[in-house]
Structure 1
Amino acid sequence: MDKLVQLRQMTKVVADTADVEAVKRLKPMDCTTNPTIVLQALKTPIFHEDFEEALE
């Protein structure tokens, strides 16, 4: 059994990251709304088109 599975049995797993792919892969129960991390995520290619559209 991997450590993440063991951890999920004892507590809730949350994410404090701008790595959207890690969030998709690890499926945390919750994610941060820290503005610095949100801005960091918006700078990634996955959000480029949406961010540019919002600026227009």
Structure 2
Amino acid sequence: MLDTMTHNCIICGQTKEYGIIIISEFICEDCEHEMVQTDVMDAKYSFFIHQMKQILYKKDA
């Protein structure tokens, strides 16, 4: 029996199994997909940038 590991997504805050880890923070597959599909002119783009900055702030802390 495989033990599945879950992580909290730094973007949406949900607990998911699959996604990517950047430095030490997890981004779920759903958010990763939405981020790469979002146009830079979309209002949600700045939200993604804000959430991603948390990775750098936590790294420097």
Measured against the shorter chain, the TM-score band is under 0.3
Instruction: Considering fraction of residues, name the structure with more helix.
Output: 1
Instruction: Considering fraction of residues, name the structure with more strand.
Output: 2
Greater C-alpha Rg: 1
Using the size of structure 1 for normalisation, the TM-score is 0.28
Using the size of structure 2 for normalisation, the TM-score is 0.27
